[in-house]
Structure 1
Amino acid sequence: MRSEFVVPTDLDTATRHPRAAAPGEPVGEHNPVCYGCGSRAPHGLNLRTIAGDGLTVWADMAVTPWMEGGPGVIHGGILSTAFDEVMGAIPKLLGANAVTVHLEIDYGKPVSVGSTVRLHAELLGVQRRKIFTKAVAHLGDPNDSLAIAHAVFVTIKGREHFSDYVENSRAADEYRPHFTP
């Protein structure tokens, strides 16, 4: 697999936030009703992302029949969501709130329904507000990848960024107190 993703050469040094999840601990959901990680998303992936060493994370995803795209294989959009979710946990290790601004995936091999995919993500670097990440999906051997993804996240001020949308959330009653002046 080959990617056209280019990481800038003038990256800033990044360090793990002192209150970030320790290696082996769950990073935690960012929204209880999130399609990717939310524990209260009845039709979601419910991914549980685990902090790794340094600035890495990983998650396992059982590929179940409802995820089928082509006959017997996962829908590429489901895998895309899983990549976005796992790489989106990297900013949390930095103590940052961030949103995806660029996501690209190189699909290499079909992912069979019934398999369990491991997604491993790492920080490539930061540049001002941009956070560059990479992730690999595999079935146990990271050197035998099924797909590789790259993403850029940009840090935000959560209250400002989401304030116009809180009322649309299924968790609006929980969020409303945090968004009122």
Structure 2
Amino acid sequence: MPDELDVLERHPKTAKPGEVMRPHNLMCFGCGAESPHGLQLEMYAGEGFTVEAKMPVEQWMEGGPGVIHGGILSSALDDVMGMTPRLLGPPGVTVHLQVDFLQPIPVGKTLHLRAEILGRQRRKIYTEGVAHLGDPERPVARANGVFVTVDVREHFAEHVENSAKAAEYMGGKPQL
């Protein structure tokens, strides 16, 4: 993380602590309520610059026998950390993701996810994510990410027609 960081200021229109945050988009694998094969995470704004979510570890998420697949865990951490830029204003996209897997996570448990903004430098937002099984003092995974804020309409303009919800996004109904 760079030495010189911008002052963080929570956007006045973002969700207040304890409120549900709006999904990235309807079909987002991580938080989209209409993603048929997604995680459908419901995320909550926390105090300061944090976001929290819970995720039941279901059988379809299995990687090794009886434990979550690392890619599913990475996706969940990426999505929770990727929600943090909204606390400051414009959404961001992942440019760097690093996950440390500390312990196997059994199928049938509930994973608690928490992400926090560590700092910002212009468009880059530096984040940290932690996953645990109910005891924050015993993390099962840690992650670091860098997100770059974007103009969503411009950033996805060349690809929006590939979305299952293209007609809605291009018709101006729901926003990305």
Normalising by structure 1, what TM-score? 0.93
**1:111 partnered with 2:105:** yes
Secondary structure of 1:126 counterpart: strand
Counterpart position of 2:11: 17
- Superposed CA deviations along residues 131-176 of structure 1, whole A, max 9, x for unmatched, are 0000100011112100100000001111111100011000101111
- Does the CA-based 8 Å contact 2:83-2:91 persist in structure 1? no
Corresponding letter in the other structure for 1:69: G
Counterpart position of 1:3: none
1:172 pairs, out of 151, 166, 174, with 166
1:163 pairs, out of 157, 160, 168, with 157
Corresponding letter in the other structure for 1:94: L
2:78 pairs, out of 77, 81, 84, with 84
Deviation at 1:177, TM superposition (A): 2.8
Normalising by structure 2, what TM-score? 0.96
Structure 2: state its 5+ residue gaps. Answer: none
Corresponding letter in the other structure for 1:51: A
Aligned length: 172
Segments ≥4 residues shifted beyond 6 Å: none
- Does the CA-based 8 Å contact 2:78-2:97 persist in structure 1? yes
- Superposed CA deviations along residues 58-111 of structure 1, whole A, max 9, x for unmatched, are 000000000000000000000000001100110111111210000000110000
- Does the CA-based 8 Å contact 2:112-2:132 persist in structure 1? yes
- Cα distance in 1 between the residues matched to 2:135 and 2:3: 29
More moved, 110-119 vs 27-36:
27-36
Counterpart position of 1:128: 122
| Equivalent runs, 1:28-39 vs 2, <5 Å | 28-39=22-33
2:53 pairs, out of 40, 49, 59, with 59
**1:42 partnered with 2:36:** yes
RMSD after superposition: 0.8
Identity rate of aligned residues, in percent? 57
